[in-house]
Amino acid sequence: MLAFRLTGQPDSRMPLYLYGVGTQGERGLHRPDGFPVYQLFLARGGGGQFIIPGKGTWVMGGGQLFALEPGIPHEFIPQSKVSGELAYIGIGGESAASVLQEAGILREEPCTLSGFDKIWSRMTALWVALDQGKMSIWSTSVLIYELILDITRAMADVVPMTGSEEATQQNGATSSRVEDTPDAGLEGLNRAITLMQTHYQDDLLLKHVANAVGYSVQHLNRLFHQHYGVTGHQYMQRWRLQKGLEWLNNHPQASVKEAAENVGMEVNYFIRMYKREFGETPGKGMKLRKQIELERSPRHQDD
């Protein structure tokens, strides 16, 4: 898997830029607030379902592309018992909407790509260049534009979807912002916090956050210690645990494993850190919530 990578702060003159790129195994995604930029998803292998509240459910199979606009809440449920990999590419810039629209990529359903392996290889090359720090954000902007052109060509031979590949229409944790500060030196810290809060479900390491905001890990940790009394890693971990608690509160029937996966943590580590943070295991809290829900149910009140 290719761990999620972020680019640095783009130049304001840049009309199209790469925000981030990475892949994950077939685990679920839950983004109630959407994503800050356009996303291109590529499925190699199993695929799954994208659920967009209030709009419907779309089935995405291997070898397909699915694009989402910024700020659209969504959830991805992988196809069970089928191994695969999901890539996600974030694209920003004032021209992102018009370029993707003119390229025909902003469709309302997943689209099969011809020569899918070539597209996947281009995505991988983009990740490697970013991971090794060999290219400027201007250079990666050129690569993302070339990738869009390749996708446009690959869509020329789109295979019509039938059966389970057709869109199945169905009707029917909040990211907080840190307080503004007059100290311009804290702009990077505020951006780092925003990135952590946005990407808590992703395989995001502190060094990648530091690179994205133009700080060293040591300097970023000093800022976190100065203003929050914790390291950057501890801040990110606490945010994930808080989101895990919110998930369990909103999904009383969900398992601890589902909550851990939803915040990008291994289940045993999640349980251990959860107990350290909140003084009880998530399982104990789940039992209490289920008991409260049972007592509030009409049937229990009638008894």
Question: Which amino acid makes up residue 244?
Answer: G
pLDDT greater at residue 121 or residue 285: 121
Mean pLDDT, the chain, rounded, equals 82
Cβ atoms of 250 and 258 within 8 Å: the answer is no
What average pLDDT does the segment 268-276 reach? 92
Question: Which amino acid makes up residue 17?
Answer: Y
Residue 169 banded pLDDT, cuts 50, 70, 90: very low
Query: Distance (Å, rounded) from C-alpha 192 to C-alpha 125?
Result: 25
Cβ atoms of 109 and 58 within 8 Å: the answer is yes
Per-residue pLDDT reduced to its tens digit, 262-271: 898 999 999 9
What average pLDDT does the segment 230-244 reach? 93
So where are the chain's domains? 5-165, 184-293
Checking if the pLDDT of 96 tops 90, the result is yes
226 Cβ neighbours under 8 A, 6+ residues apart: none
What average pLDDT does the segment 75-87 reach? 82
Structure tokens at 236: 């990110």
Residue 97 banded pLDDT, cuts 50, 70, 90: very high
Residue 88 banded pLDDT, cuts 50, 70, 90: very high
Query: Distance (Å, rounded) from C-alpha 51 to C-alpha 37?
Result: 18
Per-residue pLDDT reduced to its tens digit, 106-148: 988 899 998 899 999 999 988 988 888 777 888 888 889 999 9
230 Cβ neighbours under 8 A, 6+ residues apart: 224, 238
- CATH topology (fold) of 184-293: Arc Repressor Mutant, subunit A (1.10.10)
What average pLDDT does the segment 236-245 reach? 92
Instruction: Report the relative pairing of strands 111-112 and 74-78 from DSSP bridges.
Output: unpaired
Instruction: Give the 3-state secondary structure of residue 142.
Output: helix
Query: Distance (Å, rounded) from C-alpha 290 to C-alpha 295?
Result: 9
Strand order in the sheet with 56-60: 29-31, 74-78, 48-52, 56-60
Query: Distance (Å, rounded) from C-alpha 75 to C-alpha 57?
Result: 9
At the fourth CATH level, the homologous superfamily of domain 5-165 is Regulatory protein AraC (2.60.120.280)
Question: Which amino acid makes up residue 222?
Answer: R
Same fold, 5-165 and 184-293: no
Per-residue pLDDT reduced to its tens digit, 56-78: 999 998 899 999 999 999 999 88
pLDDT greater at residue 156 or residue 2: 2
Of 231, 284, 39, 7, the C-alpha closest to 239 is 231
Q: What percent of the chain has pLDDT above 70?
A: 83
Residue 26 banded pLDDT, cuts 50, 70, 90: low
Residue 282 banded pLDDT, cuts 50, 70, 90: confident
Query: Distance (Å, rounded) from C-alpha 21 to C-alpha 86?
Result: 11
Residue 175 banded pLDDT, cuts 50, 70, 90: very low
